[in-house]
Amino acid sequence: SVGAEGLELINNQEVVIEDNPMQFAARVVELLGNPDRCRQLGRKGRSRVQREYGWKAIGEKLRSVYTSLSEKPKE
């Protein structure tokens, strides 16, 4: 879970998070045996990452910061 800190992803829906390497490997093997579930997890994860961390999201956040900075009165 350390590698996913700060990312607001939902475990088992958008990403696979395990603290133990053996548990993580077991989850990967499960996904390899279930291609439909693997595709579903991948689609949801990719969608979330694009929505939250894609260039469009970054641009909107930057615009918001710049707008708030330009509206502050000068001291």
pLDDT in tens, 23-38: 999 999 999 999 999 9
pLDDT at 9: 85
* pLDDT per position as a tens digit, 39-57: 999 999 999 989 988 999 9
Is pLDDT above 80 for 1?
no
pLDDT at 6: 81
Residue 75, SS3 per DSSP: coil
Is pLDDT above 80 for 72?
no
CA angle 3, 48, 18 (to 5 degrees): 30
pTM: 0.69
Is pLDDT above 70 for 75?
no
Please name every residue paired with 15 in a beta bridge, in sequence order, or none if there are none: 11
Rg (CA), the chain: 18
Only one residue has tokens 């133990």, namely 20
